[in-house]
Amino acid sequence: MKRPFEKQPRTLEEQILRLEQRGLIIHDPQRAKEFLAKVQYMRLRPYWHLFEENPEKHTFRKGTTFDDLTALYIRDQHLRLLVFEAIAHVEVALRSQWAYQLALAHGTQAYLNAALHHNPHYHRENLEQLLEEWDRAWEHDPVLRHFEETYQDEYPPIWLACEVIPSCAT
């Protein structure tokens, strides 16, 4: 059965005291306070589950330090950045090949052809979304703006359209 949320906010000092009461060693309370002010208690919380001796009571294993938690958090953030960077490179390559192959096989505006899409309903939705993104983006992107200001065509070529496709578009 669900219950109402009744927890009250805690100051950074109260958060640090709570961690210490649960057995976490904090060598530099000021640094811990600054870290919690930037990262937030609840964002750091999943990282300390690995260091808990008793998950029900949320007590830490003997010798666990705040530095252990922050080091794990920082390593995870670095890994996340590397993964996102790799995903971005793959996404650009996929978009590039998608536009290149479709343009060569079906023309510069192949993305407008519903017959090339596996589902006409999704094609219509995706096209509407793409055109909304184009309308938002062209004023801020010099390459897209060049097309809008130079050509009379209503729709951009596929290699420009693919630049505004939302990430992970269906």
95 CA to centre of own chain: 19
Please report whether residue 149 resides in a domain: yes
Number of separate domains in the chain: 2
For residue 165, pLDDT beyond 60 = yes
CB contact set of 63 (below 8 Å; sequence gap of 6+) = 25
Please report whether residue 57 resides in a domain: yes
pTM tops 0.85, yes or no: no
Long-range contacts of 140-148 (CB under 8 A, 24+ apart): none
Please report whether residue 97 resides in a domain: no
170 pLDDT band (50/70/90 cuts)? very low
Please report whether residue 4 resides in a domain: no
Q: Which two tokens stand for residue 106?
A: 């079906």
Query: 146 is in which domain, residue-wise?
Result: 107-164
Same-domain check for residues 67 and 19: yes
Q: Distance between CA atoms of 107 and 120, rounded to whole angstroms?
A: 19
Please report whether residue 5 resides in a domain: no
Same-domain check for residues 66 and 26: yes
139 pLDDT band (50/70/90 cuts)? confident
